[in-house]
Amino acid sequence: MFACKSASELKSEQYFVEGYQLYTTYCANCHQTDGKGMSNLYPPLVNSSILDDKSAVACIIRNGMKGTILVNGKEFNRPMPANPKLTEIEIAELVSFVSMKWGKDSVYTPIEAVQVALKDCKAY
């Protein structure tokens, strides 16, 4: 006997798969396919505390980031380019993927949360 999945579980799977495709296209070159970053150049996403703040992640994906960032006890100072052409749903899928893959989340990030975050972005 098989149990049916809830709408939330199905949405989480959909966002994860779509987010993976977007990550491969836009992020993996620097952050690598395993999320471990690139030596002293680009920070890892694995176990990164930045993933605890989904609003910040959404804003950084959209607007990029400049300056020094401390990740897992190590400083990185390479700029991350902005992705202004990504849609809100694509950003939600990316945030969902990285948060579920390397963060502490097990459910997707709703587009509504990303829309609110993007309205209130601060500079990173």
Model confidence at 1: pLDDT above 60: no
Reading the block at residue 96, the tokens are 């969902």
Q: Is 71 helix (H, G, I), strand (E, B) or coil?
A: strand
Q: Which residue has the tokens 């975050």?
A: 117
Domain ranges of the chain: 10-119
Instruction: Concatenate the DSSP letters of all residues of 6-43 into one string.
Output: PHHHHHHHHHHHHHHHHHHHHTHHHH-TTS--BTTTB-
What are the tens digits of pLDDT across the range 59-101?
Answer: 999 999 999 999 999 999 999 999 999 999 999 999 999 999 9
The average confidence (pLDDT) of the chain is 94
Whether the pLDDT of residue 31 is over 50: the answer is yes
Residue 82 near residue 64 (C-beta atoms within 8 A): yes
Q: What CA–CA distance (Å, rounded) separates 44 from 21?
A: 18
How crowded is the C-beta side of 72, counted as CA atoms within 13 Å? Answer: 15
62 CB neighbour count, 10 Å cutoff: 20
**Verdict on whether the full-model pTM lies above 0.85:** yes
Determine the distance from the C-alpha atom of residue 12 to the mean position of all C-alpha atoms in its chain, rounded to a whole number. Answer: 14
Q: What is the chain's Cα-based Rg?
A: 14
pLDDT at 3 > cutoff 80: no
Domain spanning 10-119, CATH class:
mainly alpha
Report the pLDDT averaged over residues 3-15: 88
